[in-house]
Amino acid sequence: MAIGWNFPGSNFGTLNGIGEAGIETFKGTPYKSLAREICQNSLDAKDGSGKPVVVKFSCSQEDFRTFHDYSTLSNAIESCLTFWKKNDNKKTVAFFSNAQKVAGQKKIPILRISDFNTKGLTGSDKDYNTPWQNLVKASGVSDKNDNDGGSFGIGKSAPFACSNLRTVFYATQDINGLYASQGVARLVSFPVKKGLIFQKDSDDITTGIGYYGEKSKNQPIRECQSLEQGFMRTVPGTDVYILGFMDKRGWEDEIITSVLDDFLLSIFYGTLEVYLGNVEISKRTLEKVVETYKDKAVSAYNYYQAMTSQEAHVITKDFNGLGDVEIHILIQKDLHRRVLMGRSNGMKVFDQKNFPSAIQFAGVCILQGKNVNSFFREMENPQHNEWQPERHQKVALARKYKKDLFQLIKSYVLEYGRKTTVDEIDAEGVGAYLPDDSATDNGRDKYESIPGVTKDIDISAPELKSYQKGFEMNDSSTYTSTEDTEGLSEDEDFGMGGSKDFGDDKSNETSDGNSFGNNLGNGAGSESEGDESFPVGSDGEPAVAIKKKFEIHTMAVRLMLLDAKKKRYRLIFVPEKTSGEGYLQLKLSGEQSDIAVNIHLANNRDTGENLRTCQNIIFLHDIQAKHKMIVEFNVQFFECSSMEVSLYGYKI
């Protein structure tokens, strides 16, 4: 029985280079991918005892030169370098030049990853389609079922992406009492040399993949070998040894962060424990570890709050007849506005984004039902971090269900977000949504249900999107696009007023402006100057005739309810631009936009000046960039609603 390294020939077939697809898949995030794939494989192999699966990472420096037949592996690396130098492949030469240096060291870094309370890798005595064979020798093959993590069979490449030698050893003791050990080197094709091929010498080219074990049929050794001094397996489980481990600075933190981000639910529910050095990540220590790594594992920190806070909303709902989905929603200031999309086995697939910007929250969505897990799993990409409906057998239905699930989550975010008052949110720009006072119920007087205390009402502006608003003819008969206002100074004409419109497909045929811009005007335009006149103000005088107006972005906005019965508010804001004259405009948002918001008794709290008002307009003086302004006013409106606030400067 000959034991050692064997690099089979390709029989003049495919020439394999350095860009092996599986390894390249994980090369961008090697440590994150390693933690994700290893932990998922271990969870898939749980022994059914009910105990948490335990995964331990241990890095050591080992003298591998004494290991049996190490010289053959070193010679293979040298052959790869020599062969590809002749072919002038710089990427390959660079990799194997470094590999040769690592292999020649007295001691090389080895990362051991061991799991416990698992079945181990069963089927090491079979030739095909067993967990052992599919991990060690198969390519693109997976035996996972619908509740398991992997399905493409490329996750086995993640450890190789972390090796300077592209060499990994596997050892197992399975629950059936079988022991097995085998090494795999995934190098590149190189010419056959004497002694490298078990059968005979030839001028053939190897496949580049080598196996350490019984050379006859590339079978494993029938013992659970240890490559780390002081460690020996005595219970079922699997050990993965990465030779020439890329122990770059900070790799430990990347592993820990990945475990927290990808397996928060598994750890939270006590099905997984991970140990690395002095760090224990378990149900017992999760709160402490999440707090310690909250700056690096930001998503995990947010999701942990959603899973543990008493203020979180928990919904369980059947999804399109496929089974239950469980949704946790926490509305709270400074949360990152994302939802963890996870499987029932505790594995995160991805972070769902693109939710309403005015609501700060964190959420978790768990596909609990077996059928709903199976359906969405079929959409996963090979990295298992995205749903791609085109991969599903029923593409149209997959697209629909993916959209339905997002809309379901979004509806709960909006429902609970509108009910929750947040203390304060900074807002950039205009269009901030301001919640009005609470409505009453049971037919009682509306004033009775409003507490007579001062409280903060938070506002936050949605992200502004650029779109065509038309063009404005100014006094000098030049045209200024309203899309380019960002680059103009405060004294330039922003082209937002009500004169003749030249936007869209063609110019207007008359002198009446259509006001295609996003600002409201009450008067018709002219070919020269705009004449946007507001009606009579609260003091009985004509308000003002505006020739040109322009939007002013705000750096921060805050609204406080001072007196619930009188509907007295205080608005604090910081303008981004300077304008001598200007005004605030308040209007109801959404479906209620046709209902007027009448304002009266407005004043500038800093100067004590009573401010002129006109319906939903408050006129201002001396607006200065980055200078905080405080305005107080009363509102003649009683229904609970959202209001939109805009700030404008103007010229008369």
Residue 602: its pLDDT value, please? 92
> What topology does CATH give the domain 3-248?
Heat Shock Protein 90 (3.30.565)
Is the CB of residue 99 less than 8 Å from the CB of residue 166? yes
How would DSSP label each residue in 386-454?
A: -B-GGGSSSHHHHHHHHHHHHHHHHHHHHHHHHHPPPS-----SS-EEEE-PPPP-TT--GGGGS-SS-
Q: 292-419 is classed in which CATH architecture?
A: 2-Layer Sandwich (3.30)
Query: Quick one: which of 189, 218, 216 has its CA closest to 204?
Result: 189
The pairing of strands 598-604 and 179-186 is unpaired
**What's the distance, CA 46 to chain centroid?**
28
Is the CB of residue 329 less than 8 Å from the CB of residue 312? yes
Residue 642: its pLDDT value, please? 59
CA distance 586 to 158: 56
- Domain residue extents for the chain: 3-248, 292-419, 421-652
Write out residues in the chain with pLDDT < 70, as ranges: 1, 140-153, 193-202, 357, 420-547, 588-596, 637-643
Q: Which residues contact 112 (CB under 8 A, 6 or more apart)?
A: 56, 57, 58, 59, 60, 227, 228, 231, 239, 240, 241
Q: Which residues contact 590 (CB under 8 A, 6 or more apart)?
A: 642
CA distance 348 to 267: 12
**How many C-alpha atoms does 51 have within 13 Å on its Cβ side?**
10
Residue 138: its pLDDT value, please? 80
**What's the distance, CA 209 to chain centroid?**
36
pLDDT digits (tens, 9 = 90+) for 309-323: 999 999 999 999 999
Give me the torsion for CA of 194, 195, 199, 204, rounded to 10°.
-40
DSSP label of 206 = B
CA distance 547 to 581: 12
**Which two structure tokens, joined as six digits, stand for 214?**
């019984």
Q: 627: how many CB neighbours lie within 10 A of its CB?
A: 11
Beta bridge partners of 179: 173
Residue 206: its pLDDT value, please? 92
CA distance 398 to 386: 13
pTM value is: 0.64
CA distance 1 to 222: 12
Give me the torsion for CA of 93, 94, 97, 100, rounded to 10°.
-100
pLDDT digits (tens, 9 = 90+) for 105-114: 999 999 999 9
Residue 137: its pLDDT value, please? 86
